[in-house]
Structure formats: C-alpha cells, structure tokens
Amino acid sequence: MRHWVLITGCSTGIGRALVPLSRAAGWGVVATARQPATLAGLPAGEDLRILSLDVTDVASIEAAARACADLPLRALVNNAGYGQVGPLELLRPEELRAQFETNVIGLHSMTNAFLPLLRREPGARILQVASMLGRLSIPLAGPYNASKHAVVALAETLRLEIGREVAVVLVEPGAIQTEFRETLTRAWGDLPERARGTRYEGILEKYKTIRKDRSERHALDAETCARKILAALVAERPPRRVVIGKDAFLAGKLKALLPAAWWEAILRRAYGLR
C-alpha cells in the first residue's frame, strides 16, 4: 500500500521540489498552497492530490484534514513559512504577529489537526522545517530568528510529549537559493522608506547586497535541500535532526565554540553594524 505525505508550502522552493521527489520515491503526495493555481504545473496522477490550504486559517486547516481522512497518511511536512526582515526598532507589531501566525501558530495548528490521522499509521512521522536560525540569530532577521527558535522548541517538546508512535524530525536548513527573492517579494515592503534618515538606511542596503551575494554563491538549491528532507521522510528510523548545508553546520559549531563577544563582533562586522 502506498504511503502518503502532506506537504505545506508547495508553490515554490523546498516544498515544490519535494513533491516530485516524494512521488518518484513511491509516495503519494498531498501538495498544498494558498493558491492551488500555483501547483497547476504538477503532473496529474493517482499519487497526487492538490489542496488549497492557508495555515493561518483554522477553517482551511480543518477542511484539509477532512479531505485527507480517507488516505493512509504517514507523514506531515510543515514547510510553509516566510522570513520577515528588517531591524527590530522599525518593526511593526502586526509584522511580528504575522510572522508568528504563519511560521509558528500555523505549524502548531497543522500538527494538532493531523496528529489523529498520523496515529493511525505505523511508522508515522512529522517533519518540522525550522532553520539554522532556530539555533542562532543574525541581525535584521529578528522576527524570523524568533519564529524558528520557537519551531525548534515546539518540535523538541512535542517529541517528548507524544510518545514514540509518531516520530518528530527537526529539519534545519542553511541558506536556500530561493530565499532571497521570496524574502524581498513578501517582507521588504516599505522598509527603505521607514529606514530613511535613520542609522539603518545604509545598513539595509548592505544587508541586501550581502544576502544576494550569499544566495548566489553559497546557498543550496531547493532540490538539494529537498533530497535531504526526502531521506528523512522515507527512512525506516527517522532521525531527530537533519542539519542541511555546510553553512548551517559550521555556523552552529562556531557559535558553540567562540566566546559570545567574539561571535557578536563577527556578525556586527559582517552586516556593517557598529
């Protein structure tokens, strides 16, 4: 019998790349997005269902759970999310709230809604996609840092609480090539106007240059990242953590080894902060 996985955030990036990889591995996929039209390019088949899903909308989540009730759902990949950028001093409360609604509350709501379905299947697993920024923080990404720290805490707590019938896998990617474009599209907004005349005006321009350079030169492509996630998805014994990318591995080690003052000095210099 075919195993099924529901993946959130399939319109672009990691989620989109994971859909064909999972199908090629013999899994059925429930691919979800806020706008199902963005998934129109996925080849149809008995191993694919496309659902409209907004993880910030309880009614949408409940409808998705009902739509999956007839499936032998073995896995949930909570991948939907975005990164709000900008200095905390200029951050609007509604921007912080929106970041947590999607990245944290949405993930939590999806987990609780689908746990009853997952518990029906032996070997079920939940993959919570966090980030290396769930273990460390960089400047000008405070809301995203905070949301991914929360995802790490929720995943580790859930693993302790729910017992061994459903495995909880914490996925911690480093920089992904799609991230820069998507971040600027959704979260840049009117930041340049808000920053004009403040100490952050030049800092934001440097930040944009740094992120673009790192995205082009050092970031993983979404498919490479998705292949690492697939390995955990199909594993007989899923790992507790999947750290993806040299930057994620090295940054975590460096932060753990260096005195805090040295680590902060490195980040300030890298981002043009004084």
Contacts of 119 (CB under 8 A, 6+ apart): 165, 166
Of these residues, 144, 200, 207, 271, which one is catalytic?
144
State yes or no: is 200 an active-site residue.
no
SS3 per residue for the chain: CCCEEEECCCCCHHHHHHHHHHHHCCCEEEEEECCHHHHCCCCCCCCEEEEECCCCCHHHHHHHHHHCCCCCEEEEEECCCCCCCECHHHCCHHHHHHHHHHHHHHHHHHHHHHHHHHCCCCCEEEEEECCHHHCCCCCCEHHHHHHHHHHHHHHHHHHHHCCCCEEEEEEEECCEHHHHHHHHHHHHCCHHHHHCCCCHHHHHHHHHHHHHHHHHHCCECHHHHHHHHHHHHHCCCCCCEEEECHHHHHHHHHHHHCCHHHHHHHHHHHCCCC
Tokens 């321009």 appear where? 205
Active site residues: 144
